[in-house]
Amino acid sequence: MTVLIGIDPGKSGGIVAIDADNKVVASTRMPLTLGSKGDLDTSQVRRWLLELPETPSLIMLEMLQARPAGKMSTTSAITMGRAHGALEGLLIGLQLPHELPQPNAWKKAMGLPRRPAKEADKRKTDAISLCRRLLPDLDLVPGRCRKPQDGIAEAGLLAVYARRVFVQGMTL
């Protein structure tokens, strides 16, 4: 079995594993230490990865993208950087094959329209709609959530992108 994984590393992100036929193997919201308020819980991510039925063939960990000054606090930027570095370090430590695609590159390859930052809600809706078409068996409303989670949708799309790169030989 081929297992391909997409990781949206944000606090509201997610991790999705699919097989070569686009069937969902496993998925989870990004595990945090104190529910929705804590930092990334790398021990849970590690456990999740090690409990998969097969070693992943390829993992797509979305690269952080710089935001203009004033759009994000310094504390938020540092927190995001630490979480991304911890995830990348975990993948390196577990010797798992991974790539770090730029958000604009993988979204363009997946056919998501470019939208300005002020249309963030439309970007989320676009990702959720495309994910529902490509991965209809992926639960986008996990646990006690009331609405679809765009972080899980983007992780699912990153997994499909990993499949296209790995199986179809696309280049990054």
**Digit-coded pLDDT (tens) for 28-51:** 999 998 766 788 999 999 999 999
- Give the pLDDT confidence score for residue 19 in this predicted structure: 95
End-to-end CA distance of the chain: 23
The strand pairing partners of 138, in sequence order, are none
- Give the pLDDT confidence score for residue 95 in this predicted structure: 97
For residue 129 the two structure tokens come to 């709609």
What pTM does this model have?
0.92
Please compute the mean of the pLDDT values over residues 124-152 and round it to a whole number: 92
3-state secondary structure of 87: helix
Place of tokens 């996990």: 142
Q: Is the pLDDT of residue 171 over 60?
A: no
Q: What percent of the chain has pLDDT above 70?
A: 92
CA separation for the pair 119, 5 (Å, rounded): 27
CA separation for the pair 160, 27 (Å, rounded): 13
For residue 94 the two structure tokens come to 């577990």
For residue 114 the two structure tokens come to 């470019």
User: What are φ and ψ of residue 47, in 5° steps?
Assistant: -60, -45
Q: Is the pLDDT of residue 68 over 70?
A: no
User: What are φ and ψ of residue 153, in 5° steps?
Assistant: -60, -45
- Give the pLDDT confidence score for residue 130 in this predicted structure: 96
- Give the pLDDT confidence score for residue 7 in this predicted structure: 98
Q: Is the pLDDT of residue 162 over 80?
A: yes
For residue 12, the number of C-alpha atoms closer than 13 Å in the C-beta half-sphere is: 10
